[in-house]
Structure 1
Amino acid sequence: MSRFNGQVMVVTGAAQGIGRGVALAAAGEGAQLVLCDRSPLVHEVLAEVQASGALAIAVQADLETHQGAADLMAAAVEAFGRIDILVNNVGGTIWVQPYQEYAPEQVEAEIRRSLFPTLWCCHAALPHMLAQNKGAIVNVSSIATRGIYRIPYSAAKGGVNALTASLAMETAQSGIRINAVATGGTEAPPRKVPRNPKPLSEQEQLWYQAIVDQTRDSSLMHRYGTIDEQVRAILFLASPEASYITGTVLPVGGGDQG
Structure 2
Amino acid sequence: MEALQNKVAIVTGSSRGIGAATAVLLAKAGADVVINYHSSEKEALKVLAKVEATGQKGKVIQADVRSAEGVKTLVDETIREFGKIDILINNANIDFAFKPFTEMSWEEFSYKLNNEMGSAFHLCQKVVPQMEKQGEGKIVLISSSLSRTPSQGFIAHGTAKAAIATFAKYLAQELGPKNIVTNVISPGLVLTDATKDQPSEMHEMLRNLTPLQRLAKPEEVAGAILSLVADWNAHINGAYIPVNGGIDMS
TM, length-normalised to structure 1? 0.86
Q: Distance in 1 between matches of 2:175 and 2:209?
A: 34
The equivalent of 1:157 in structure 2 is 161
Q: 1:183-202, aligned counterparts within 5 Å? A: 183-188=187-192, 190-191=193-194
Distance in 1 (alpha carbons) for counterparts of 2:206 and 2:186: 13
Alignment gaps of 5+ in structure 1: 195-199
Runs (4+) of structure 1 exceeding 6 A deviation are: none
Partner of 2:54: 52
Residue 170 of structure 1 and its aligned partner are, at CA, apart by 0.1
State the Cα deviation string for residues 93-116 of structure 1 (Å, max 9, x = none).
533322222233322332244332
Structure 1 residue aligned with 2:102: 100
CA distance in 2, matches of 1:147, 1:242: 31
- What residue identity is the alignment partner of 1:228? E
Residue of structure 1 aligned with 2:175, choices 171, 176, 192:
171
Correspondence 1:1-258 to 2 at 5 A:
2-39=2-39, 40=41, 41-145=43-147, 146-148=149-151, 149-188=153-192, 190-191=193-194, 212=203, 215-216=206-207, 219-255=210-246, 256-257=248-249
1:197 is aligned to none
Q: 2: CA distance between counterparts of 1:122 and 1:21?
A: 22
- C-alpha displacement of 1:71: 1.5
Cα drift, residue 213 of structure 1: 6.4
Q: 2:97, 2:109 within 8 Å by CA — same for their partners in 1?
A: no
- Name which of structure 1's ranges 91-100 and 147-156 shifts more when overlaid on structure 2: 91-100
Q: CA deviation at 1:30?
A: 1.2
Equivalent position SS for 1:154 = helix
Q: Alpha-carbon deviation of 1:217?
A: 6.2
**Structure 1 vs Structure 2: percent identity of aligned residues?**
28
* Unaligned residue ranges in structure 2 (runs of 5+): none
Q: CA deviation at 1:150?
A: 0.7
Measured in 2, the distance between the counterparts of 1:65 and 1:219 equals 37
Aligned CA-pair RMSD = 2.2
Secondary structure, aligned partner of 1:95: coil
SS at match of 1:33: strand
- Counterparts of 2:154 and 2:208 in 1: how far apart (Å)? 17
TM-score by length of 2: 0.89
Distance in 2 of aligned mates of 1:160 and 1:257: 20
2:67–2:118 contact (8 Å) kept in structure 1: yes
How many residues were matched structurally? 244
Cα distance, 1:28 vs structure 2: 1.1
Deviations 1:65-85 (A, max 9, x none): 111112211111111111000
The change in CA–CA distance for 1:219 and 1:165 in structure 2 (over 3 A counts) is farther
In structure 2, give the amino acid aligned to 1:254: G
Greater mean alpha carbon deviation, residues 239-248 or residues 99-108: 99-108
